[in-house]
C-alpha cells in the first residue's frame, strides 16, 4: 500500500498501526491515536451535518489544545479547507480574515488563555454575531458565507452553538469522507502579513504539507514511532504545521503547551521524556538553556533541537547541548513553513546555517539586476521552487503573478547566500517585513493603520533590534497641524486595532524626513533611533 498523501490518511494509518500510543500530549490532558481519530471523526460528522465538504472553509480561533487538533483533523476529514486564525489578531484583523477566507463554520473555545476571551473577541470582530440568539444561524452582512459559529465548550453565548449541540447533530460517514479526500485538494490556508494593508491567505494542498512533514520527519530528524517531539509553537502558526505532520506521519507523540511558560516547559520535557525539541525561536530556546535547573545532563534524552538564528547564536546554543545536535531551518508561509533544514549528521559549520533544501525543493540566489544565478557565497534575492509552494494568494491574482516567474520559481523577498556544499544562510529581507518573536509583521500594514488616525499625517515603521524578540517595530509619526497626540495615545490606538506583537515599541514624532529623490530613507530613521537608544537619550 502506498504511503498516505493526505492528513486524514496519516491519522487513519497511525490509529491502525499505533492505536494506544500517545498522539497529542498537553500538560494536563492527552490522547492516543485511537482516541484522536474518534474525537476528530465526531467533529467531522458535525461538520458534514452542516453541509461542509470540499470547496468549503472551516476556521478556528483558539489556542493550542486537543480542541484545536480535533478541529484541524476533523475539517481535513470532510475535504474542506482548514483556516486557523492567528489567536493574537485584533478584532479588526479577524473581521477581515473571516469573510476573505469564505469561512462557512467558525470554531472557537470558551477557555480564557492569557487573559484572552475568544468569544468576546469574536463578538468585537463580528458585532452582528453578538446580537444573535445563542445557537441561531448567523446572518452577517460582514461575513455572509458564515453559517455557524460554535463554542467548543459548555458556555452559551449570543450567536454561538455549544459544543454539545454541535456534536449531537452530527451525521454521515466521517471515515468514508476522509478516504475520499485527494492529495491535491487544499488542506490549510494560513494568513501572512504581507506588505499590503491586509493579511493574505496562502492555501496549501495535502500533498505539499504531507510532503514537507515527511521531509522534516524522515530527512531531517529520522523520526520513528518511539520519538516524542516537544513543540510549544502556536498550532495556528505555519511554523508548527510541518513538524506536526512529520510526527503524525511517524506515529510519534506531539508534546505541547497552551502557552509557553519556562518552568512548566522544563518539567514537561523531563516528565514526558522528549527526544526532539522544536522551540524554533531564540525567545523560547534561551529561557530553557538559561533556566536555573538547566545543566549539561538536563536534556540527556534529547537527540535534536531546532532554533532559527544567526550563526553566532546557534553556535552558543550548540556549545551548551553536549548530547544534542542543534540544527536550523528556513521557510515562510508561502513555502509551506519550512523548505530548507539542517541535517543531524551535518558537520557543525553546516548546522550553523539554515541547511539544505529538502528533496523536491530547489533554492536559487539570483543577481537582482540580471536574474542570473549567483556564484557560491554571494548574497542576493532568494527564489524557491518545489512541491512545497502555496497555491497563490487568495483573492489576489495580481500579487500571485508577481511572485512567480515563468518557470514556477517563487520570489521569497528574502536575501540569502548558498555555499559550495549547498547550505543556505539567511541574510535578511528585501521586502519590508519584520520578524517579531517569530511572527511576521508587514511594516506597510502598521503604517496603513497608523495613517487612518485622523491626527496622523505620515507614519513610517522600521525594525530595531531587541534582545528578547529579535526585532520590534518602531514608528515615526508626523502629526497633522494643531494635533497633539502623545506617544501613549499612539500606542493605545495601535493596541485597539493591531495584534500585540505589531504594536510599535517606540514612537517618535518628526517632520524631518530623510529623503532620497522620492522616498523616505527608512534605514536613516532606523540609524537615528539606534543612535538615540545607544546614547540613552
Mind listing the pLDDT tens digit for each residue in 419-458?
Answer: 999 999 987 777 678 889 988 888 878 988 998 899 998 8
Q: pLDDT-derived band of residue 480, with 50, 70 and 90 as boundaries?
A: confident
pLDDT in tens, 90-102: 899 899 999 999 9
Instruction: Give me the domain span that covers residue 164.
Output: 31-201
Q: Which of 371, 316, 308, 318 is nearest to 340 (CA)?
A: 308
In this model, does residue 516 exceed pLDDT 60?
A: no
Q: What is the mean pLDDT of residues 34-48?
A: 98
Q: Is residue 19 part of a domain?
A: no
**Boundary (domain end) residue, out of 201, 228, 258:** 201
Give the C-alpha separation, 457 to 519, whole Å.
16
Q: Cell numbers 471523526 label which residue?
A: 41
- Which residues are CB-neighbours of 446 under 8 A, at least 6 positions away? 459, 461, 473, 475, 494, 498, 502, 504
Q: Could you tell me the pLDDT band of residue 112, with boundaries at 50, 70 and 90?
A: confident
Give 215's DSSP letter: I
In tens, the pLDDT along 484-511 reads: 999 999 999 999 999 999 999 999 999 8
| pLDDT for res 438 | 86
With cell 540609524, the residue in question is: 527
End position of a domain, from candidates 201, 233, 261: 201
Q: Evaluate whether residue 197 is within a structural domain.
A: yes
Whether 118 shows a pLDDT value over 60: the answer reads yes
Closest CA to 251 of 288, 207, 305, 213: 213
Residue with the bigger pLDDT between 313 and 226: it is 226
pTM of the model: 0.86
Measuring CA to CA, how many Å separate 171 from each of 160, 175, 362? 20, 12, 44
pLDDT at position 410 is 98
* Mean pLDDT of the 233-253 span: 95
Q: What is the tens place of the pLDDT at every residue in 335-345?
A: 999 999 999 99
List of residues 6+ apart from 332 with CB closer than 8 A:
192, 238, 339, 412, 414, 440
Give the E-state strand segments of 242-360 in sequence order: 253-255, 276-280, 304-307, 325-327, 329-330, 340-341, 356-357
CATH of the domain at 523: 3.30.300.30
**Has residue 94 been placed in a domain?**
yes
The answer to whether position 316 is within a domain reads no
The secondary element (H helix, E strand) that includes residue 361 is strand 361-365
Task: Kindly report the backbone phi and psi dihedral angles of residue 291, in degrees, each rounded to the nearest multiple of 5, phi listed first.
Answer: -70, 145
Domain count of the fold of the chain = 2
Position of cell 514526558? 272
Residue 311 confidence (pLDDT): 85
Res 524 pLDDT > 80: yes
Question: Is the confidence at residue 132, as pLDDT, over 90?
Answer: no
Share of residues in the chain with pLDDT > 70 (%): 98
The reported pLDDT for the residue numbered 1 is 44
Q: How far is CA 67 from the centre of its chain?
A: 18
Rg (C-alpha) for the chain, rounded Å, is 23
Residue 180 lies in a domain: yes
Alpha helices in 385-460 (DSSP H): 397-403, 443-451
Of the residues 148, 168, 201, the one at which a domain ends = 201
In this prediction, residue 196 carries a pLDDT of: 46
Give the mean model confidence (pLDDT) for residues 10-15.
98
Domain of 160, CATH number, reads 3.40.50.12780
Domain assignment of residue 493, yes or no = yes
> Tens of pLDDT along 415-428?
899 999 999 998 77
pLDDT at 467 (0 to 100): 87
Sign of CA dihedral 332, 333, 339, 341: positive
Alpha-carbon gap, residue 83 to 192, rounded angstroms: 12
**Which whole number is the average pLDDT over 46-56?**
97
CA dist 440 and 139 (Å) reads 33
Give the separation between CA 489 and CA 495, rounded to whole angstroms: 10
- Rounded Cα–Cα distance for residues 63 and 323 (Å): 32
Q: Is residue 292 in a domain?
A: no
Of 137-141, 155-159, 449-453, least confident by mean pLDDT is 137-141
Q: How far is CA 11 from the centre of its chain?
A: 22
Tell me what the pLDDT averaged over the chain comes to: 92
Local confidence band at 517 (pLDDT 50, 70, 90 cut-offs): very low
Q: What is the mean pLDDT of residues 282-290?
A: 88
Cα distance between residue 182 and residue 168, in whole Å: 28
Check residue 363 and give its pLDDT. Answer: 98
> Domain for residue 297, yes or no?
no
Amino acid at each position: 500500500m502506498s504511503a498516505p498523501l493526505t492528513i486524514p490518511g496519516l491519522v487513519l494509518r497511525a490509529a491502525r498501526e499505533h492505536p494506544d500510543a500517545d498522539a497529542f500530549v498537553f500538560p494536563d490532558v492527552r490522547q492516543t491515536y485511537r482516541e484522536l481519530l474518534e474525537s476528530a471523526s465526531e467533529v467531522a460528522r458535525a461538520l458534514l451535518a452542516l453541509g461542509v465538504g470540499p470547496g468549503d472553509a472551516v476556521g478556528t480561533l483558539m489556542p493550542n489544545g486537543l480542541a484545536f487538533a480535533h478541529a484541524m483533523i476533523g475539517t481535513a476529514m470532510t475535504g474542506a479547507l482548514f483556516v486557523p486564525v492567528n489567536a493574537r489578531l485584533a478584532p479588526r484583523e479577524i473581521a477581515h480574515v473571516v469573510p476573505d477566507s469564505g469561512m462557512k463554520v467558525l470554531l472557537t473555545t470558551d477557555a480564557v488563555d492569557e487573559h484572552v476571551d475568544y468569544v468576546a473577541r469574536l463578538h468585537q470582530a463580528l458585532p452582528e454575531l453578538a446580537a444573535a440568539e445563542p445557537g441561531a444561524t448567523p446572518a452577517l452582512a460582514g461575513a455572509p458565507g458564515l453559517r455557524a459559529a460554535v463554542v467548543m465548550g459548555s458556555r452559551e453565548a449570543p450567536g454561538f452553538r455549544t459544543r454539545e449541540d454541535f456534536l449531537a447533530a452530527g451525521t454521515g460517514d466521517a471515515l468514508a469522507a476522509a478516504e475520499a479526500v485527494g492529495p491535491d485538494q487544499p488542506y490549510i490556508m494560513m494568513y501572512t502579513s504581507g506588505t499590503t494593508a491586509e493579511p493574505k491567505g496562502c492555501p496549501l494542498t495535502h500533498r505539499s504539507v504531507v510532503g514537507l512533514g515527511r521531509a522534516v520527519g524522515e530527512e531531517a530528524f529520522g523520526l520513528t514511532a518511539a520519538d516524542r517531539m516537544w513543540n510549544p509553537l502556536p498550532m495556528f502558526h505555519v511554523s508548527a504545521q510541518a513538524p506536526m505532520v512529520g510526527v503524525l506521519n511517524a506515529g510519534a507523540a506531539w508534546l505541547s503547551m497552551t502557552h509557553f511558560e519556562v518552568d512548566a516547559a522544563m518539567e514537561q520535557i523531563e516528565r514526558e521524556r522528549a527526544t526532539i525539541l522544536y522551540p524554533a525561536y531564540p525567545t523560547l530556546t534561551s529561557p530553557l538553556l538559561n533556566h536555573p535547573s538547566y545543566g549539561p545532563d538536563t536534556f540527556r534524552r534529547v537527540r535534536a533541537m531546532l532554533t532559527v538564528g544567526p550563526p553566532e547564536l546557534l553556535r552558543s546554543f550548540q556549545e551548551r547541548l553536549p548530547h544534542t545536535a542543534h540544527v536550523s531551518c528556513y521557510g515562510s508561509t508561502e513555502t509551506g513553513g519550512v523548505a530548507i533544514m539542517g541535517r543531524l549528521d551535518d558537520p557543525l559549520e553546516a548546522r550553523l546555517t539554515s541547511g539544505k533544501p529538502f528533496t523536491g525543493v530547489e533554492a536559487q540566489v539570483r543577481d537582482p539586476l540580471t536574474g542570473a544565478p549567483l556564484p557560491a557565497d554571494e548574497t542576493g534575492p532568494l527564489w524557491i521552487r518545489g512541491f512545497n509552494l502555496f497555491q497563490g494568494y487568495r483573492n489576489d491574482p495580481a500579487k500571485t503573478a508577481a511572485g512567480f516567474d515563468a518557470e514556477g520559481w517563487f520570489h521569497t523577498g528574502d536575501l540569502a547566500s548558498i555555499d559550495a556544499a549547498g547550505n543556505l544562510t539567511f541574510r535578511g529581507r528585501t521586502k519590508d517585513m519584520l520578524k517579531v518573536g517569530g511572527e511576521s509583521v508587514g511594516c506597510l500594514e502598521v503604517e496603513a493603520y497608523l495613517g487612518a488616525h485622523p491626527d496622523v499625517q505620515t507614519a513610517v515603521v522600521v525594525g530595531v533590534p531587541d534582545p528578547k524578540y529579535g526585532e520590534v517595530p518602531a514608528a515615526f509619526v508626523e502629526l497633522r497641524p494643531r494635533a497633539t497626540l502623545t506617544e501613549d495615545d499612539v500606542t493605545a490606538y495601535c493596541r485597539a486595532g493591531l495584534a500585540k506583537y505589531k504594536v510599535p515599541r517606540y514612537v517618535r514624532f518628526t517632520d524631518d524626513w530623510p529623503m532620497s529623490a522620492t522616498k523616505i530613507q527608512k534605514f536613516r530613521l532606523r540609524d537615528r533611533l539606534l543612535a538615540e537608544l545607544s546614547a540613552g537619550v
